[in-house]
């Protein structure tokens, strides 16, 4: 068993089932996650207990298969125990360093603008495989201040494991990142957005919207054919109101596809009653794609502003983050910065 798959509650049950004091779970969690100790170095647990734990659990981290580091962003290709590869990205922002984790090997959502969408899902990651990406990055690069759940994969297509991951990440005995330092992004799987309040840590929710027009969104995001915009917006609004959360809507500006003033008006009308902001993202060209980066971003931005919609747009955004360094990282960077400045 991979230790990092265990939430604190699961670990307490593990000890209880063996007639051991369940308080050992917190001791173990704290020593490993908070104090970065190895099992053998934990003095608060007996040699006998440690031997049992060592027998039952693996503490192995993934292996580094490749690294691209431009000083600001580091993309690491990690090999998991079954040989599967996942991408994890580190973003350095002055004093705050964020990590963007993958939740699946490949992705089934099929968004036409996204490189991952063309890879097809091979499998979902376990909670521990997501945790171990964070652990690997902090061991390799130092302290992590923000987690973006927006690497490869659709987190809500792996709900239970992602939920367990969030629990471990936010547990004060675990990775102990407060919810406001965790951002989860989804393409909009409505039934699981409805269940997101099961995750108690108060994380930031980002919705990959990319169009306010039903026909266009269905064309570029197949998920929209299953759960349409109106249902998505209604669900997000309810979630936001119930949990008093400000929602981030992500919107990639693609040349002549979704970037006209008319489209901006549609977007403004769609989100105007939601406590939200719109994150305008430059399209990151992917291989063999016919899409181009928008040249109408300023006009689009101005329409939103005029309609009183909060929007963030960065011209110089991710200057040194190259498409070759992973198309997803630019967006993760934006969220890490957002969390950092606490806007
Ligand atoms: N499946 C989740 C999280 C992974 S994708 C989701 O859809 O939100 C993370 C973000 O990167 C999403 O907003 C996605 O739309 C965006 N993205 C994908 N391809 C991109 C590209 N070529 N340029 C810019 N952003 C992209």
Residues 86-143 have pLDDT tens digits of 999 999 988 889 999 999 999 999 999 998 767 789 999 999 999 999 999 999 999 9
Higher pLDDT, 206 or 325: 206
Q: What is the side-by-side strand order in the sheet with 96-100?
A: 63-69, 73-79, 85-93, 96-100, 146-149, 182-186, 204-208, 247-253, 276-282, 311-313
Ligand 1 surroundings by CB, under 6 angstroms: 109, 111, 113-114, 150, 154, 185-187, 208, 250, 252, 281, 283-284, 286, 327-328, 331
What distance lies between CA 119 and its chain's CA centroid? 18
Q: Is the pLDDT of residue 170 over 70?
A: yes
Please give the mean pLDDT across all residues of the chain: 91
Q: Is the pLDDT of residue 317 over 50?
A: no
Residues 177-200 have pLDDT tens digits of 999 999 999 999 999 999 999 999
Q: What percent of the chain has pLDDT over 70?
A: 91
CA 21 to centroid of ligand 1, rounded, Å = 44
Name the band, by pLDDT with cuts 50, 70 and 90, for residue 321. Answer: very low
How much is the average pLDDT of 220-229? 98
Q: What is the pLDDT of residue 117?
A: 66
CA 208 to centroid of ligand 1, rounded, Å = 7
Choose one of 102, 328, 333 to mutate for the ligand 1 pocket test, by most ligand atoms within 8 angstroms of C-beta.
328
Task: Give me the helices (H) in the chain, please.
Answer: 8-17, 23-29, 47-56, 127-141, 159-170, 190-194, 214-220, 223-226, 229-243, 261-271, 297-306, 329-341
Q: What percent of the chain has pLDDT over 90?
A: 84
Q: What is the pLDDT of residue 341?
A: 32
Q: What is the pLDDT of residue 330?
A: 46
CA 83 to centroid of ligand 1, rounded, Å = 25
Q: What is the pLDDT of residue 334?
A: 54
Q: Is the pLDDT of residue 36 over 50?
A: yes
Choose one of 157, 192, 208 to mutate for the ligand 1 pocket test, by most ligand atoms within 8 angstroms of C-beta.
208
Q: What is the pLDDT of residue 288?
A: 80
- What proportions of the chain, in percent to the nearest 5, are helix, strand and coil? 40, 20, 40
Sign of CA dihedral 235, 110, 299, 319: positive
- pTM of the complete model: 0.93
Nearest CA to ligand 1 atom 1: 154
- The domain spans of the chain are 3-56, 63-338
In CATH terms, the fold of domain 3-56 is DNA polymerase; domain 1 (1.10.150)
Domain at 63-338, CATH class:
alpha beta
Nearest CA to ligand 1 atom 11: 328
CA 32 to centroid of ligand 1, rounded, Å = 33
**Distance between CA atoms of 231 and 58, rounded to whole angstroms?**
43
């Amino acid at each position: 068993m991979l230790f990092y798959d265990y939430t604190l509650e699961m670990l307490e049950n593990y000890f209880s089932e063996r007639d051991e004091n369940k308080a050992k779970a917190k001791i173990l969690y704290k020593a490993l996650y908070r104090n970065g100790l190895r099992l053998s170095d934990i003095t608060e647990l007996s040699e006998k207990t440690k031997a049992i734990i060592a027998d039952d659990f693996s503490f192995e981290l993934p292996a580094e298969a490749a690294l691209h580091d431009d000083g600001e962003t580091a993309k690491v290709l990690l090999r998991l125990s079954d040989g599967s590869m996942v991408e994890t990205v580190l973003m350095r922002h002055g004093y705050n360093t964020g990590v963007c984790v993958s939740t699946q090997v490949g992705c089934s959502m099929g968004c036409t603008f996204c490189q991952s969408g063309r890879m097809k899902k091979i499998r979902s990651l376990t909670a521990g495989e997501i945790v171990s990406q964070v652990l690997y990055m902090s061991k390799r690069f130092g302290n992590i201040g923000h987690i973006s759940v927006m690497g490869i994969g659709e987190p809500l297509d792996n709900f239970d494991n992602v939920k367990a991951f969030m629990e471990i990440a936010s547990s004060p005995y675990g990775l102990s990142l407060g919810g406001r330092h965790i951002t989860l992004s989804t393409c909009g799987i409505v039934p699981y957005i409805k269940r997101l309040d099961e995750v108690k840590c108060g994380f930031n929710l980002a919705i990959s919207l990319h169009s306010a027009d039903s026909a266009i969104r269905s064309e570029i995001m197949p998920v929209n054919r299953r759960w349409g915009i109106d249902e998505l917006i209604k669900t997000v609004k309810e979630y936001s109101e119930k949990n008093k959360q400000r929602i981030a809507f992500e919107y990639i500006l693609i040349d002549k596809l979704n970037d006209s003033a008319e489209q901006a008006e549609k977007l403004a009308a769609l989100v105007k009653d939601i406590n939200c902001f719109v994150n305008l993202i430059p399209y990151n060209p992917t291989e063999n794609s016919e899409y181009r980066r928008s040249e109408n971003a300023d006009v689009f931005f101005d329409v939103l502003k005029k309609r009183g919609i909060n929007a963030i747009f960065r011209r110089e955004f991710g200057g040194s983050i190259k498409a070759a360094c992973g198309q997803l990282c630019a967006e993760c960077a934006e969220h890490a910065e957002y969390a950092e400045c606490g806007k």
